[in-house]
Amino acid sequence: MASAPQPSTDLPSRPTDTLRPRGALYAIDLLRFAAAMLVLLFHFFAGYSSPGHRLASRLIDQSLLPDVGRLYAGYGWIGVEIFFVISGYVIAISARGSRALPFARRRLLRLWPAALICASLTLACLWPFDPRPSHFEEYARSAMLWPWGEYIDGSYWTLGVESVFYALVALLLWISPWRNRIEALALILGTASLFYWNGLGAELALDLRDAQLLLLPHGCFFALGIFLHRWHAGHRGWWRAAAMLLMIGTGVQEILFISRATGIGMQIAYPRWIGPLIFFGGLAIIAFSPRLQPMLERHLPRAPVLLLGLATYPLYLIHQTIGLVLISALLKGGLAYVPAALITLVAITGAALLIASTAEPWLRALMSQLLPLSPPSRGPVPDTRQSASRRGG
């Protein structure tokens, strides 16, 4: 009997309409989960010590966080920048061949159900420890994906950024339904970020949240993800390579700026090279993901990898506030900070896996029935990967 053909590790040699490996995007899903863990470790071992963290200052003794944790976890926020690159990459796949309404509907069904579940769970856990009426307003903003104001968990700030990016892609699909113009959007976003980090931000004097919702600080990361996918799909050339280099440089500018601000808040002089090094590591995994795919498929079962990728979104949404509540409870029970944080990490991860495997699919199916019907998509099968994002607070 003839042996089954082995998957090729070669990248496309000519432009293709899409690049979608069957099943999970193994390297991307594993990187997504690792990036979420980076953000979680940042908050658990560094972020909670910030004087500006409004909940940590009320629930725990911030001096209990070990200095070694603040030192080595202080760059975990870079997981969000990696999330934004992954988002650009995955959306370039999802948008290819789709129409505006089906695309927008799919993205709403990816963001909203988990946000509603996680916000409700967070309020239920937070209220007994910190019963403030303002939490109901924070809950409403979080559950309804409202782009402004304080949230029940600070990590929700990135959902507004993601939503604006999705809306721009949907608008592009509506304006140009039969042509793939996503590279034009990437160029606009990347150029805007380039100017923002090179003087335009100071001239505009925008409120930080308004700048975020205009994608000015982070557009370069979405754009880089788009161009990485297009490169993998065979759409290459010197100008695309130059565009990616410019966007990488702009991203490094953002990382260095946040690194300085984080160092001031933590009162630690972080080495400047660590942040870009972590970022380059994430980019390398994305860049080589098509070549890693066959190897990972041979050695890893699909279902757990896909579940880890799906669990990233609820893990990101529940880790900061619920994590703080659980650590506070364990500290009051007599545990030292590090064991309390590690037990909480395991509990939060388990809760995220449970949400991703049961509650979120159920609510998404219910919402899908209630939302207005959309025209059938002419594009690829809708992706089942969630979107996630960065540190909050």
pLDDT at 305 over 60: yes
Distance CA 334, CA 292 (A): 45
pLDDT at 374: 53
pLDDT at 23: 53
Which residue did the predictor score with more confidence, 203 or 329?
329
Could you count the other beta carbons within 10 Å of the beta carbon of residue 15?
10
pLDDT at 17 over 80: no
pLDDT at 373: 59
Cβ atoms of residues 153 and 122 within 8 Å: yes
pLDDT at 14 over 80: no
What confidence tens digit (pLDDT) does each residue in 142-181 have?
999 999 999 999 999 999 999 999 999 999 999 988 778 9
What confidence tens digit (pLDDT) does each residue in 343-377 have?
999 999 999 999 999 999 999 999 999 887 554 44
Compute the radius of gyration of the chain from its Cα atoms.
21
pLDDT at 186 over 50: yes
What confidence tens digit (pLDDT) does each residue in 20-74 have?
444 579 999 999 999 999 999 999 999 999 888 889 999 999 999 999 999 899 9
pLDDT at 176: 87
pLDDT at 328: 97
Distance CA 17, CA 229 (A): 11
pLDDT at 225 over 90: yes
Nearest partner of 328 among 340, 338, 320, 318, judged by Cα: 340
Amino acid letter, residue 211: A
Burial of residue 32, with CB atoms counted within 10 A of its CB: 0-12 exposed, 13-18 middle, 19 or more buried: buried
What confidence tens digit (pLDDT) does each residue in 62-73 have?
999 999 999 899
CA–chain centroid gap for 288, Å, is 19
Share of the chain above pLDDT 70, in %: 89
Predicted TM-score (pTM) of this structure? 0.90
pLDDT at 83 over 50: yes
Q: What is the mean pLDDT of residues 85-101?
A: 93
pLDDT at 214: 96
- For the chain, the domains span 26-370
Cβ atoms of residues 294 and 369 within 8 Å: no
pLDDT at 310: 95
pLDDT at 385: 45
